[in-house]
Amino acid sequence: MKRRLAREIAVSSLYQMEMNEVTAAEAIEMLMEEARSENEIGAEFVENENTDSYVRELVNGVAERKAAIDDMLQQHLTGWQVDRLSRVDRQVLRLACYEMVFRDDVPHKASINEAIELAKHFGTEESGKFVNGVLGKLMQSLEEVKKDTEAVTETESESETNH
């Protein structure tokens, strides 16, 4: 299975977590099983351990850093609040922000392009344009955002070590 399908399952899992207040593990398992059997997300599913682990890395990564990701997104939203975005746009933006800021194995432009396609797939044509605008602003200040994130992470690590 390719990364696009992994991202589709990840966005769907994040959506399920928010809508149904389930854990990351529950949401992932439900959607992976759906992909294997019913295939309601409309994807060709090929059993692949790498994809399964990639979905889990994405969903858990976003879930663990949700507050930090939402803060980053809020800084790049003009006239919007993160909690007022459509649920689909919010999950797509969270996933792309996570990939751009916390992962080094995905080119930033690939994250943005994938997010636009996911927004169009799950949302509306306008969702794609909106996601592109927000992520474009994030990309312009990405180095600064990453430095701020690293500084916060170091501070948290030091305080945990001192306790």
Domain boundaries, the chain: 1-64, 66-163
- pLDDT given at position 79: 86
DSSP state at residue 123: S
Distance separating alpha carbons of residues 117 and 76, to the nearest angstrom? 20
List, for residues 64-78, the tens digit of each pLDDT value.
999 999 999 999 998
Distance separating alpha carbons of residues 95 and 19, to the nearest angstrom? 16
CB 96 within 8 A of CB 136: no
pLDDT less than 50: residues of the chain? 1, 42, 46
Protein fold of 66-163: N-utilizing Substance Protein B Homolog; Chain A (1.10.940)
Using the structure block, give the residue that is written with the tokens 């797939």: 121
- pLDDT given at position 1: 47
- pLDDT given at position 158: 56
CB 63 within 8 A of CB 85: no
- pLDDT given at position 130: 95
- pLDDT given at position 141: 87
